[in-house]
Amino acid sequence: MSIGHFKLRRPHFANGRHREQKTLKLLQLVLCCLMIFVSSGTVGVQAESPNVLLIAVDDLNDWVGCLGGHSQSQTPNIDRLAAWGMLFTNAHCQGTMCNPSRISLLWGRRPSSTGFYSNRYPVSEEPQFLSSHVSLPAHFAASGYKTLTAGKVFHSSALVKKYFQVVGPRPGHWLKGLDKKVHDKPKGWHSTWDFGPQDYDESKFADHVVATWVTEQLGAEHDKPFFLSFGFYRPHVPFFPPRRVYDSFKTVKLPRVDEDDWNDIPDAARKVSMSNPKIPTHDWMRKEGRWKQAVHCYLASVRWTDEQLGRVLDALDNGPHAKNTIVVLFSDHGYHLGEKQRWSKFSLWERTTHVPLIISVPGGSKGKCGKPVELLSIYPTMIELCGLPANQKLEGV
């Protein structure tokens, strides 16, 4: 199995060697099994078919321990997952904002093919591209898998029930009552642009709610293999970590920002890079004295998300599906926190294209791969690892 040009071994859940004289009996057995699968409507899925746990993290850059993006990152559970499988240290997204990146990954096509370049999504009718191509969860469902989701996987809520059979909680970036602003901001800025520690009950935070539901699914028995994809909302803005997690960072190191970093950039590129009026400029963040606290809250939000991931990994490790579940963790894109004198995403610099990507396959390869890979290749890699029919329209490898 491959992602980019790196090979992953298919999970080995059953083996056996048959001698030549038993070939006819084996063929008869296979034909009988095929008849059973056809009659039950589950062609392509067998009892030993692996489950899939696909985990999306919103706006997570390389500030994780195993990638070394920030010396103060506290991500023991992302690091634990990386030790379980293969860490791709040079992975990149296809779009540096939520919707284009997620549509590209879940349909296996580049934005130039999907036509999605922004976070806008038409609510009146489904775009023709989506309805005429098979999404990743739909491919698994058509192959006999049970498909489940919670949290943020699709950027648009309109797609969730159409492409998943079981839909868990999708509380959004904040739950009701957790929407009190911390900072005043200039008129016209994005409504979620805020940051600061929160004193609410941690069990009511969106990612805790999502993780709780996922742990319940991982502890339950299922009548057929499952494709469970869920998404964490943090560290997307607002950077609202619990105060306990915020206080665990006693000091904060700011990222390096070169004052002459824009000297070799043409005027046209400068205008494009600084044309979003809904996010702050780096000059504003510095002059208002908010840079350090924003970095503090981002680091704490990453730590909080990692804690929720730990609950999920514990449930998987201690549950009935530990030896038969492929785990994939990715971020939809990276994030600027002052680097290149920018904030947020929406750029083509490596700060926003570079993303964490981990694939853990039971009995499969472990270690690190430094070759360039892209999120586009998750779709074909997953269906190949699970032995499902190929989709000839995919653009990843």
129 burial via Cβ count (<10 Å: 0-12, 13-18, 19+): middle
Contact indicator for 272, 339 with CB cutoff of 8 Å: no
Of 66, 93, 98, 297, which one is the catalytic site residue?
98
User: What 3-state DSSP class applies to 51?
Assistant: strand
Q: Which residues contact residue 249 at a Cβ distance below 8 angstroms, ignoring those fewer than 6 apart?
A: 72, 74, 296, 299, 300, 303
Of 155, 236, 282, 321, which one is the catalytic site residue?
155
Which amino acid, one-letter code, is at 184? D
Burial 250-265 (b: 16+ CB within 10 A, else e): eebeebebeeeeeeee
Q: Which residue from 192, 175, 143, 135 is spatially nearest to 159, judged by alpha carbons? A: 135
Both tokens of residue 126?
A: 């489904």
Between β-strands 226-232 and 51-57, what pairing exists: parallel, antiparallel or unpaired?
A: parallel
Cα–Cα distance, 222 to 259 (Å, whole number): 56
End-to-end distance of the chain based on CA atoms, in angstroms?
9
Cα–Cα distance, 316 to 53 (Å, whole number): 10
- Rg for the chain, CA atoms, rounded: 22
Cα–Cα distance, 331 to 301 (Å, whole number): 14
Q: Which residue from 171, 304, 165, 314 is spatially nearest to 229, judged by alpha carbons? A: 165
Say whether 155 is catalytic.
yes
Cα–Cα distance, 329 to 57 (Å, whole number): 8
Say whether 98 is catalytic.
yes
Contact indicator for 355, 56 with CB cutoff of 8 Å: no
Active site residues: 98, 155
